[in-house]
A = this chain, B = another copy of it.
Amino acid sequence: MRTLRMGMVGGGPGSFIGRIHRLAAELDGDAELVCGAFSSDAKRSQEAGQAYRLDASRVYASYRQMMEAEKALSADQRMDYVAVVTPNHVHYEPARLALQGGFHVVVDKPLSFSLEEAQSLHEIVKHTGQLLAVTYAYSGYPMVKQARALIAQGAVGTVRKIFIEYTQGWLSTELEKSGHKQASWRTDPTRSGAGGAIGDIGTHAAHLAEYVSGRRITHLNALINTYVPGRRLDDDSSLLLRFDNGATGVLVATQVAAGEENNLVIRVYGEQGGLEWSQLEPNSLIQRSPDKPMQVWRAGSNYLGGAAAANTRTPPGHPEGYLEAFANIYTAFHNAINARSTNGAAAGELDFPGIADGVRGMAFIETALRSAHSSEKWTEFV
């Protein structure tokens, strides 16, 4: 396999997620960042390109320019795919141009600024046949894969209860007024879209709940708040959930749980037992069963299933973390690209969150907000 060539839109100085994308994409040596339009400010874009040690000729002043220039390069030079790591309001246009320009695309979550944009991208993906990944990175953790596999195998029986909580505290104060770049755009409806916490982390939670349990949310009953005075988007949410098989649950996504770092926990209970996974200790998966000792499955162990094993780099007792999980999304995406040039011959794991997941995430935001504004108890989530 040759090394895939990656381009990047966004990720300039001060970006948190741009650096993560590059680390993740390059982690296994399957891909290499070769070009980027890192900022809408040409000078800042060049600064970022230098920090990434790119050839100045491949650092662009705009994503439009990048798409054009890269298309003009020879097939053995031009980028294979683009990672879009800008704020949400600049997801759609670069993704569209890239797909239509013949490039595959990775988009940071949530997929877009609005549900409409997401649906439009879905059409474009269908039409162009290009690949698109959305980095719901938490689904890349090996023990999340193991949880999903155990549930699919019936290890807990028919699922009854799904609890997912994503608690952060970093927006407990009016951080957006202090010049904090992340806080600034994530609380700005003109850049983030209609959702604050519900979009930024609620979509992670909703995706993980469905991914692990294998069930789909059908109705939700949302309480969405803005606690910090003056903030223009929500910073806190709690939802009651109904799933397609009769299971019910709770989703919490808050950014005002002061003192919490990035505490994502999922628990799924079925008729015969339950599973619990916490992102803060991602290498363990707890299984509880009536009438026998609690079991703790550990990453890297030889007793794990194929998906967990394929998403692990180190032996048991050598902890992996967030970057590795993020990289697992990229690995599957890279494999899918490579599979195209091998006529589909198996190339390892191919399971990554795609366009359908991205659209569903945007629908989740839209439905949750609709529910929050409704006096009806339940709102259908199609």
Interface residues, chain A, CB within 8 Å of chain B?
1-3, 16, 19-20, 22-23, 26-29, 33, 52-53, 156-157, 160-161, 163, 165, 168-170, 172-173, 221, 223, 225, 227, 236, 238, 240, 248-250, 252, 254, 256-263, 267, 269-274, 279-283, 287-298, 300-303, 313-324, 374-378
Contact = CB atoms under 8 A, between A and B. Distances in A.
Contacts of A29: 22, 26, 33, 52-53
A270 to B, nearest CB: 7
B321 A319 contact: yes
Q: Nearest 3 pairs between A and B by C-beta?
A: A262-B317, A259-B288, A261-B317
Given A322-B320, A377-B375, A223 B240 contact: yes
A281 B280 CA distance: 9
Contacts of A274: 169, 257-260
Contacts of A313: 19, 23, 323
A269 B173 CA distance: 13
A248 B227 CA distance: 10
A272 B258 contact: yes
A248 B236 contact: yes
Contacts of A293: 287, 295-298, 301, 303
Contacts of A258: 156-157, 160, 269-274, 288-290
Contacts of A260: 269, 274, 288, 317
A169 to B, nearest CB: 6
A262 B315 contact: yes
A23 B16 contact: no
A298 B296 CA distance: 13
A314 B322 contact: yes
A320 B318 contact: no
A320 B317 contact: no
15 contacts: A23-B27, A26-B29, A160-B258, A169-B274, A173-B290, A259-B273, A259-B288, A279-B317, A281-B319, A313-B323, A314-B323, A319-B319, A323-B323, A375-B378, A377-B377
